[in-house]
Structure 1
Amino acid sequence: MYKILLCGVFFLLAIAGFTTLSFSSNNKYHYKADLKLPSGFSAIIVADSLGRVRHLEVNKQGDIYVKLSALKDGKGIYFLNDINHDGIIDKKTTFGDYAGTGIKIKNQYLYSTSNSGVFRYKLNDKGEVIAPDKPEIIVQGLVDKKRDNSKSIAIDDENNLYVTIGSYSDACRETNSEKGIPGCPLLDSVGGIWKFKADKLNQSYGDAVHFARGLKNAVGIDWNSSTKSLFATHHGRTIDDKFPQYYTAKQSAELPAETLYELRQGADAGWPFVYYDHIQKKKILAPEYGGDGKITGDKKFIDPVVAFPAHLGPNDLLFYTGSMFPKRYKNGAFIVFHAKSAELKKGYMVAFVPFVNGVPSGDWEIFADNFAGVDLDKPAGPLKYRPMGLAQGPDGSLYVSDDLKGAIFRITYSDKTSK
C-alpha cells in the first residue's frame, strides 16, 4: 500500500510539471563544511550534487529554490523542501525547462530568468509554486550571445524589476582593430541594467527604462531597502597583450579592479570608455579610447563605492537584514567571489563589506574562505567547491551555492551574547 501511495505522489508531481529526484531520509545532506569563518560561525552542507547551480532564494518556510545554468534531466530550477523545518532538505523536485541565473521571491511570486528573459510563478501560502508548468512571461527578447549572458535580477519596494544584461564584447573594439568603436553602440542593448514592471506581462526592451549604463557584466545585484537604491557588482574587463607599451604582464594580471556600485537612475559606470584602477584609486581612460594606463577618465562616470582586486569574479551580492549574525553585519554587504586574484593569490570566497548609515564603513574583509580546499598560492590539486550565489534564510542564516559540485552551504552564528 505504501509503495502504491508513493507512486501516486510521484505521478501527481510529474503531471504538475515537477520532476521528483528524491523522497527519502536516506538522501538527506547535513554535514559540516570545512570553511574558514569568523569566531562563532559554523557551516554545514545541506544539499550536494545538484549540477551547475547559479543563484538561489529561500522562502519564509526555509525551503530553497535554486537556478541552474545547465538543464539537469531537462529541468532548470530545483525546489529543495525542508518538510519539518529542521534545516535539513527532505525532498528535491525540479521544474522549468530553461537554464539561467537569476531567481527571486517577491510578493508571493517566484521570479526566474533564462538567458534572454524573465518568468514568474505564483506561490501558495506555503511558499510553493502552484503551477510549475505554466510560468508567466514577464520579459522576453533580451540579448543572448552566449558570452556573459546571465540575467541577474532584483526587485525594489515599488515592484520594479531590475535586469542586468552583460556585454558579449570585452572592450567594444572595432573589427580587427585595437581602437574602440566611438560611442559604443552596443550600450543600447547590453552592458547595463534595465528596469521593468514586475507585474506586467510580455515586456521587451521597448517597455523598459534604461536604468544604468557602463556595466560590462554585473552578475551580483541587490536592492538596498535601507538606502532605497540599487547596488551591483561589476566584472572588470581584461587588460591583455594588445597594449604592451602601456602595461606590463604584472599590471595586466592585476588590473582593472572588480567594483561595487550604488546606482540611481541614469547612472553610468563608464564601460568601455574607462575602468577603475584600485592601485591608483581613480578612473583610467581605456587604451582603446586613447588611454595609456595613466590618463584619468571622464568625471561624468560614477566612482565605485568599493574596489576589489582584479579577476575575483563577483557573482552575487546580498545586503544582510537578518538578526542571527552580530550587529556589525546588519545592513552590510556579502559578496561571492567566484574566481582567483593573482594579486592576492586568494579567491573562491565570500567577502563582507560593513555599512553604516548606508555607506561602506571600513575595509572589505574575507568572511568565508577555503571553499577551494587547496593552497591557492601553490595549488597542488583540484578545487573542491567554487561559491556562486547567496541567499538569506528566514532565521537569518546565510546560504551559499557552489557551481562546481552543486552544493548548498548554510552558515549560522551561535554566540548571541556578543551582539
Structure 2
Amino acid sequence: MKMYVTSVLLLAATASFANCSGGDSTKAVKPNTTVVADADNAGLKLPSGFGALTVAENVGRARHLTVTPQGNVYVKSSKLVDGKGILELKVNANGKGEIVKSFGTFTGTGITIKNGYLYACSDEQVFRYKLDANNEVINPNAPEVVITGLLNRHQHENKTVALDDAGNIYVNIGAYSNSCQEKDRTNSSKGMMPCPILDSAGGIWKFKADKLNQTYSDGVRYATGLRNVVGLRWNTQTNSLFVMQHGRDQLYQNWPQFYDSIASAELPSECMFELKQGSNCGWPFTYYNHLIGKKMVAPEYGGDGKKVSTDPAFQDPVAAYPGHMAPNDILFYTGNQFPEKYKNGAFIAFHGSWNRAPLPQKGYFIVFQPFKDGKPNGDWEIFADGFSGKEVVTSTRSAEHRPCGLSQGPDGSLYVSDDSKGTIYRIVYSGK
C-alpha cells in the first residue's frame, strides 16, 4: 500500500466514523459486523470482546485526528511531509486506509470538525477549511485564519481546540515554563509573584468560532492556572469543557531538600479538570498529590512537599492520575457499539513519560475513566495497552508507538493516532 504523510481522510465504504473533538457526537450502530480485527489486534492488549486493526502506517507524526460521519479521517501532523501538514486518508471495506490527499503548509497538533468546517492548528494560529456536503475540504489551498498571534516560545507550544454548541472555540496556550521560577528549571530558584506568564499563557482562551483574524484582544481568558493542556474536549452531556493537564517536572532535581527521586517520579498528578468561566487550576502555585488526595503548595511558593494548600481560589481536579504520563487527548464516548459501561465515560490517551527515573517510564496506553451523572465515578482502568512494544520502557526512544489523538467513528469504533511511527489504529467491539 502506498503511503504519503500529512493530513488524513478515511473514507470507510461500510461502517463510517466521526470525531467529537469540537463537541460533535454521532450515533453509532451496534455491534461491529463489517470490519475484522487484525489477527494480533495490531499489537494491542484489549479487554475481552474487543479487537483492533491497523488502519494505516507511516503517516507522519500523527497528532490529533477527526473522523467525519461519512467515514473520512483527517489527521494533523507535527512534521511536514512533502511540505504538507494535514493528511486525508481513504479507507476500504476491510478497514484499511490509504492517503489520497495532503494539504496545509503548517505543522501542529489540534484538528476537529464543527458546523461545516475543518479546524486545524499551528503553534501560533487556528485555521478553518469549508467543507462540502460530504465533509470534504472545498478549497485546501486557501484556509481562513480564525485566530492569529498566539504565543509560541517553544515550550508547551502545541495548540489544540474544542468547540461548544454556542459558537465558541476554546484554545489552550501552554506556559513557557516549568513552574514560573525566576530561573526556569533551576535548583532552588523561587517562583515569580505574581507569575507574569499567566497574562498570556498557562490557560484556556475563548474566541468566536465564526469570526476571522482574531487576536488576543478579541478573546477572553476562560480559565487559568493550567501549565500545559494538549487534550481538551467539550462534553455535550454536561455542557462544559474538560481538560487534561500535564503536571510540572523536576521536584527532586530542583528541590532535593524536600523530595526524593521516587516522590518526584510519582508526583505531581496528571489532572482532569472541568472548567467554567474564571476557573483557576492552581499552576504554578500548587500541584495535586493523588496519593493523598490533596492540593499541595508548590516548593517555589513556600511548599516543602508536606504543606497542603487551603486557598479556595484554586479548584480541585475531578480526577487525578500518576505523574508524568502525558495525557494528550480525552474523548467522551457517545457511541452504541461498545458495552453500556463505556457510554458517556472518558477515554484518555497517555502519550508516555520521559522523566520517571529511577522508576520505569509509564503511560503509552489508553485509559478508560467511568463517569456517572457527568462526573468521574470509580477507578480508572487501562483499556488499550501494548503501544510501546515493551514490557518495561526505560526511555521514550525505546517505545515503538506513542498514542496521541482519539476520535470516535459513526459506527462507535475508537480511532487512535500514534505520533512516533505514524500508525492509525481502530478499536472495535464484536462481543466475541
Q: Which of the residues 411, 419, 432 maps onto 1:403? A: 419
Aligned to 1:146: 154
Matched, 1:354 2:367: no
> Could you tell me how far 1:288 is from its partner in structure 2?
0.6
CA–CA distance in 2 between the matches of 1:249 and 1:20?
42
Matched, 1:186 2:197: yes
Aligned to 2:319: 306
Q: Which of the residues 377, 398, 420 maps onto 1:382? A: 398
> Do the aligned partners of residues 179 and 111 (structure 1) sit closer, same or farther apart at CA in structure 2, a change above 3 Å counting?
same
CA–CA distance in 1 between the matches of 2:94 and 2:210?
33
Aligned to 2:298: 286
> Could you tell me how far 1:88 is from its partner in structure 2?
2.8
> Could you tell me how far 1:93 is from its partner in structure 2?
1.3
Q: In structure 2, the residue corresponding to 1:400 is in which secondary structure?
A: strand
Unaligned residue ranges in structure 2 (runs of 5+): 1-5, 10-36
CA–CA distance in 1 between the matches of 2:305 and 2:351?
26
Q: In structure 1, the residue corresponding to 2:363 is in which secondary structure?
A: strand
Matched, 1:214 2:225: yes
Query: Does the 8 Å contact 2:8/2:75 carry over to 1?
Result: no
> Could you tell me how far 1:345 is from its partner in structure 2?
5.7
> Could you tell me how far 1:228 is from its partner in structure 2?
0.5
Normalised to the residue count of structure 2, the TM-score between the two structures is: 0.87
> Could you tell me how far 1:186 is from its partner in structure 2?
0.7
Q: How does 1:69-108 map to 2 (within 5 A)?
A: 69-82=78-91, 87-108=95-116
Query: Per-residue displacement from partner, 1:66-121 (whole Å, max 9, x unpaired)?
Result: 00111111000001123x65533244311000000000000010000000110000
Match of 2:173, as an amino acid? I
CA–CA distance in 1 between the matches of 2:283 and 2:231?
17
CA–CA distance in 2 between the matches of 1:231 and 1:19?
26
Normalised to the residue count of structure 1, the TM-score between the two structures is: 0.89
CA–CA distance in 1 between the matches of 2:367 and 2:81?
30
In terms of mean alpha carbon deviation, does 349-358 or 294-303 score higher? 294-303
Matched, 1:261 2:273: yes
CA–CA distance in 1 between the matches of 2:100 and 2:152?
30
Matched, 1:324 2:350: no
Query: Does the 8 Å contact 1:258/1:309 carry over to 2?
Result: yes
CA–CA distance in 1 between the matches of 2:7 and 2:199?
39
Query: Per-residue displacement from partner, 1:161-194 (whole Å, max 9, x unpaired)?
Result: 0000101110111137611110101101110000
Aligned to 1:11: none
Unaligned residue ranges in structure 1 (runs of 5+): 1-17, 22-29
Query: Does the 8 Å contact 2:417/2:425 carry over to 1?
Result: yes
Q: Which of the residues 194, 199, 210 maps onto 1:199? A: 210
Q: How does 1:271-282 map to 2 (within 5 A)?
A: 271-282=283-294
Q: Which of the residues 264, 278, 287 maps onto 1:252? A: 264
Match of 2:390, as an amino acid? V
Query: Does the 8 Å contact 2:360/2:394 carry over to 1?
Result: no
Match of 1:172, as an amino acid? C
Query: Does the 8 Å contact 2:258/2:305 carry over to 1?
Result: yes
Match of 1:375, as an amino acid? E
> Do the aligned partners of residues 381 and 51 (structure 1) sit closer, same or farther apart at CA in structure 2, a change above 3 Å counting?
closer
Aligned to 1:44: 53
Q: In structure 2, the residue corresponding to 1:134 is in which secondary structure?
A: coil
Query: Per-residue displacement from partner, 1:134-171 (whole Å, max 9, x unpaired)?
Result: 00000000001111100011000112100001011101
Query: Does the 8 Å contact 2:269/2:322 carry over to 1?
Result: yes
Query: Does the 8 Å contact 2:174/2:226 carry over to 1?
Result: yes
CA–CA distance in 1 between the matches of 2:53 and 2:409?
14
Q: What CA RMSD, in Å, does the superposition of the two structures yield over aligned residues?
A: 2.2
The sequence identity of aligned pairs, in percent, is 55
> Do the aligned partners of residues 380 and 122 (structure 1) sit closer, same or farther apart at CA in structure 2, a change above 3 Å counting?
closer
Q: In structure 1, the residue corresponding to 2:253 is in which secondary structure?
A: coil
Matched, 1:54 2:63: yes
Count of aligned positions: 391
Match of 1:46, as an amino acid? V
Match of 1:50, as an amino acid? V
Match of 1:228, as an amino acid? N
